[in-house]
Structure formats: structure tokens, C-alpha cells
Chains A and B, each alone.
Chain A
């Protein structure tokens, strides 16, 4: 089955700096890669996703890049703000028969004011 790895497990940046979070996946059949933000005591919130037919997608301060050959994808957050502090999860799935998501272990992002 699919295996998603996420590194590092924690990341601390200064407010206004950029943050980059990387994930790798193992199953070349995976074709859908969402990123979720989870705040304490809440469910995961979808912030951006990318499908395998594109290499990059951007939404305001957030972007995701995908390298299918190397089987890795990254989340880029620019001009970080304290409210960006949360746990971020990457996931992968094959958007076919069931689309079940396989998640990484998550990274705790801290933005220092």
C-alpha cells in the first residue's frame, strides 16, 4: 500500500519568512495530493491540493509543487503569520475506486512573532 513520509517533524520560522514542508510517497499510482492544516482540538482543514497532471498550484500565500518522477511534493507558505502556526499534514491517494487518503505523520509549524 501507499506510504507517505513527512520531514521534518517540527519547523520554526520568523514571522514574514517562508516555510517549506516536504513529503514523499511510495505508490506511483497515487494521483491526488492534498494538504491539510489542523489546529488544536479541530479536524483537519483542506488548504490546497494538487493532481498529478500539473506540477504546481498556487493560492495566495500558499503553493504546492509536485515532482512525479521523484515521488515528492512540497507545501510552500510565503510571508508567514502567527496564525499559520498549526500542524500540517500531507496526504496521497489514487482518485479512483475509493480515494482513501494516506497521511504523513504531520509537521508542527511555529511562526515566531
Chain B
């Protein structure tokens, strides 16, 4: 079956611009996670959704970052006033329930010039 998909695969933007990154989880998966991976590092947790609500957003670095999942399926990560330090690969993962295996998408590579 289809895995987790993310769009776009690559995004280049200028400092100060607004960007949206989209994640389509595996059908039926209720839990959705966003992680950020900098070069040479492991993924770092950003935010977790159970259904439509953000159950844990403790990993969001500051208030320029926001994520939504209005219908409990697709999620969008939104970054305002982008900075060069936001450049990274943004990964989305989903799981069928809390505590189950997390399956990752291919990621969106964000480059802020």
C-alpha cells in the first residue's frame, strides 16, 4: 500500500518568507509526527498529533513554527519569517496508534537563502 508522502520534495525560499510543508500519512493512521533532520544528525522531534489535536508541541523551536491537522489526516507544517537556520530536512511519520511503529516519509528538504 501507499506509504507516507510529503510535498514538496524540495523547497528553496528566501529569508523572511513563509513556507508550508505537507504530509499525507498512511491511510487510517491516527498518530502523526513531524521531525527535523539537520545535516549529519538524527531526526529531532517537533510535534505530535493524535487525531486532529496537537498532543505535544514541545519540540517546536519557537513561535514561527506551527502545524495543523484539521481533519485528522493530512498535516501542514507552517514556518513564518524563515531564517537560514531553518534549513534542514523536515520529516513526517505516522503510526496506527500510540506506541506503534512509526513509518517515515521521504522528507522535504528546505533551503533558506
Contacts and interface: CB of A to CB of B under 8 A. Distances in A.
A34 B101 contact: yes
A104 B55 contact: no
Nearest to B6: A43
Contacts of A95: 98-99
A46 B101 contact: yes
B56 A100 contact: yes
Contact of A105 (B41, B103, B104, B106): B41
A105 B42 contact: yes
B91 interface: yes
A44 B48 contact: no
Contacts of B99: 32, 95-96, 99
A98 B55 contact: yes
A99 B104 contact: no
B78 to A, nearest CB: 20
A49 B101 contact: yes
A3 to B, nearest CB: 12
Contacts of B45: 100-102
Contacts of A99: 31, 48, 95, 98-100, 102
Contacts of B40: 105-106
A53 B83 CA distance: 44
A98 B55 CA distance: 7
Given A89-B43, A95-B98, A100-B33, 20 more contacts: A4-B42, A36-B104, A43-B4, A44-B43, A45-B104, A46-B101, A95-B99, A96-B99, A97-B55, A97-B56, A98-B55, A98-B98, A99-B98, A99-B99, A100-B48, A100-B59, A101-B43, A104-B42, A105-B41, A106-B40
Interface of A: 4, 6, 32, 34, 36, 41-46, 49, 89, 91, 95-106
13 contacts: A34-B102, A43-B91, A43-B105, A44-B43, A49-B101, A95-B98, A97-B55, A97-B56, A97-B98, A101-B43, A102-B45, A103-B44, A106-B40
